[in-house]
Chain A
């Protein structure tokens, strides 16, 4: 009789553990779904003496290439520094751009410089990094 009870409780325990695993899995999947929701935080365009340029990162297998759009760039003014996986870039404009020429709301704002801190997918090594610029676009190649 006690054997029958033992078997019954063993089966019950197994069933409860299986249910627990299924519930945990469902919760994990549900929270993974929440995590993949698009970010809804509004990004307000910022204008001051410095502005953030457009940039894009491409993974070309053996290397990561970062392209940064720097129209009105003053040649020779690009400064790039690495800090762990973060790349800091600054570059001067050929001449300041007065934004009140486009809208009075921006009166008093003159843009002099681009600045950006870009998080990279790998930690760059200076000896494996190449930089070139063409038509106001800077290309930074970081070999893996």
Chain B
């Protein structure tokens, strides 16, 4: 099953087959974070687009986990791809020290595979989310105001604080001059939010230029919330360790 493996820092990038990309190509990243928008979204994206599992990431620094999918052994962090879209997805809640080492390795891998842009999909906590009918998707980019993202319906996040893997994704991508966006859809912080995920995915599909029907995601929203209960609980524990509550606060700088 192993076609190729490459060490980047302390992370082993495994490929199950040879895979290459056509232009333009985008890497989408989903980690457990606010409202589990990233995890639910990238999982749905990979399923709906029929992306093939082409590889994975493992490391002696990750917990000793073997993921078993349809009887086949997989790595804790999984890589899916088609010709134009790649997805890196994990349900593992990783500590800040591991995330700090992992994100730069993922960006370096994206450069090696010649992805032209990286998009992080996640949520941003909305205090009165229960009463919100229209959910806004914001974006933060390594290249500032971006027309294609604005045309897709996202608004630039002008002030605020990001904490967690997506904050690091932006900082490290900027340092390496890799175009990267993080899409942040208003969502619950501590409850899985498939509705916010659908809004975020709709914006993402417009940016990438693919057709993606999110109807099934909305239909299955309740069962996804039910299934994601334990994952959300684990992610919430990591929020308090990272000081995620700061994202809720009103920015002081004028």
A-to-B contact residues, CB < 8 Å: 38, 43, 45, 51, 53-54, 56, 67, 69, 71-72, 97, 102, 134-137, 139
Contact = CB atoms under 8 A, between A and B. Distances in A.
A59 to B, nearest CB: 12
A37 B232 CA distance: 22
A54 B227 contact: no
Contacts of B233: 43, 45, 54
8 contacts: A51-B229, A54-B229, A69-B188, A69-B192, A71-B226, A72-B223, A97-B226, A136-B222
Nearest to A138: B130
A134 B130 contact: yes
A102 B223 CA distance: 11
Given A54-B190, A137-B130, A45 B230 contact: yes
Contacts of B171: none
Interface residues of B, number: 19
Nearest to A111: B226
Contacts of B195: 135
B249 interface: no
Given A54-B232, A54-B233, A135-B130, A72 B190 contact: no
Interface of B: 130-131, 188-192, 195, 221-223, 225-227, 229-230, 232-233, 241
A40 to B, nearest CB: 12
Contacts of B191: 54, 56, 67, 69, 137
Contacts of B232: 54
A85 B192 CA distance: 27
B130 A72 contact: no
A45 B229 CA distance: 9
A38 B222 CA distance: 32
A71 B223 contact: yes
A139 B226 contact: no
B222 A71 contact: yes
Given A54-B229, A72-B223, A136-B222, 20 more contacts: A38-B241, A45-B230, A45-B233, A54-B232, A56-B191, A69-B188, A69-B191, A69-B225, A69-B229, A71-B223, A72-B226, A97-B226, A102-B227, A134-B130, A134-B131, A135-B130, A135-B195, A136-B225, A137-B130, A139-B130
